[in-house]
Amino acid sequence: MRRVKRLSVFSSALVGALMSVALVSCHDNDTVSPEIVINPLDKVAYFVSGFVTEESGPISGVTVTINNKKMVTGNTGYYEFEFPKTGTYPVNFSKDGYIDVDGSCVIPSDAKSQTYFGLNQMMKQQSPPVTIPANEDFVMQDATETGSNTTVELPAGAVDKDVQASLTEFIPGVGSMEGKLPLFVFDAQPSMQFNIPATIKYDGSKMHGVLFGNVKHVVLNKNGEWEEKGEVKLDPSTGMYEAPLDGFSVHGFVMSVPSSVLTNNMTETIHSVEVNNLGSMTSKTATVAGTQRMGWELTDDFENSVKTQFADKTAEQIASIITEIEISLKMMVGTAPGIVETEILREVSVSGDASLLVNFVANIEIHTYPSLAFILEDGNEFITDVSIKKYVGVTLDQKLTLGSSHTDHSGGGIQ
């Protein structure tokens, strides 16, 4: 009996020990780990977006093509593309009844992932065709609603027979006229050669009292390159520019300028959104909304330097000088001066027991065009550096903070 009793005691002790182990084991299995998810903002991606406009507002129905990807603009004129890597991509904007615009966009090799690069473009409706008579002198203009300072004077016999043709000034695509500050660019259709040279004239008397010096006549050749045709004559007393024209194609009067110099870059946090999921072991999905700024404007430093240089002129005269410089830069930058904003909506996923802070950080560049020469209405030339402030994109910069339930929790945030 004693042996049986000892066995019973031992058996009871063993059962108790096993139950203790089981209880501890069950307790350990009840510990909940945070749900881990992949955040869409972790994907390596770059975006190109912008607005297509004309003088009267946005344009719908424009086919935007970037590196063989296509989309059509809606009522706001907005478009957006996603790319998996950096690089320089060809861009085309087209719509029936408008002049096609070609340009390029650059996503720098050192660009941060999840950056939106702004690329706005202005377009122009094609001017209605007119009949060029074969046996009469004829003066031709851009007949679009916004009018034109450009005329083409064709002598009798310039064409063999009566021809339907159009002349349309337009704004070239971004990146298509590097090193050239356009006075104007026009598309003359159909492409043809004249029997007798015509004369192209541009009336600069309407240019707010500012004229360009050292202007060249250029034509877009079959390879898509700007080819210099010769000097453009300027009569400072009338503000009239003129040059011979041997045929119809895409032409421009431009001032050769050094390439712009990136003199400064900076960032500016426009908006911040936090998705706080600390303390919850399940993941969370949310939509974050922020702002992208696009466009350009003359820097305050430049405007102040103009006021200093022309202290003897009235405020109205100085404003006219600045306006004409802005008009000229519009032709080179691809859109009118001004900063526009658009909303960016992105879905994010946050793991359990974590918090995600998304900063919408604007990327700003200061570009300087050195030693631009202008002629004032009094005949005096002034040379100046022109600086512009460009909002080139916005980066979605994220900061993840992990709660104490994460095994790799270190008490701080993870960038």
Most confident of 293-297, 302-306, 411-415: 293-297
Delimiting residues of CATH 2.60.40.1120 domain(s) in the chain: 40-122+260-414
User: In the beta sheet, which residues pair with residue 286?
Assistant: 348
Mean pLDDT of 335-353: 93
| pLDDT of amino acid 19 | 43
Residue 365 has pLDDT above 90, yes or no: yes
Cα angle: 322, vertex 323, 328; to 5 degrees: 100
Q: Which residues contact 86 (CB under 8 A, 6 or more apart)?
A: 46, 107, 108, 109, 111
Which of 207-216, 291-300, 382-391 is predicted least confidently? 207-216
Statement: residue 412 has pLDDT above 50:
no
Residues 75, 6: Cα–Cα separation, whole Å: 91
Pick the CATH number of 130-169+180-256 from 3.40.640.10, 3.40.950.10, 2.60.220.30, 1.10.357.10: 2.60.220.30
Distance CA 67, CA 69 (A): 6
Segment 38-63 mean pLDDT: 95
- The closest of 175, 257, 239, 155 to 201, measured between CA atoms, is 239
Q: How many CB atoms lie within 10 A of CB 405?
A: 16
Task: Tell me the C-alpha to C-alpha distance, in Å, between residue 408 and each of 52, 263, 276, 296.
Answer: 47, 42, 19, 44
pLDDT band at 193 (very low <50, low <70, confident <90, very high): very high
Q: How many CB atoms lie within 10 A of CB 82?
A: 12
Residue type, 123: M
The structure's pTM equals: 0.82
Amino acid at 138: F
Q: Which residues pair with 256 in a beta bridge?
A: 180
What residue spans in the chain does CATH classification 2.60.220.30 cover? 130-169+180-256
Q: Is the peptide bond before 258 cis (omega within 30 degrees of 0)?
A: no
What's domain 40-122+260-414's architecture? Sandwich (2.60)
Residue 234, token pair as written in the block? 């300027």
Query: N- to C-terminal Cα distance for the chain?
Result: 72
* H-run or E-run covering 25: helix 2-29
Q: Please report, as a single letter, which amino acid is at residue 363.
A: N
Nearest to 229 by CA among 211, 249, 210, 209: 249
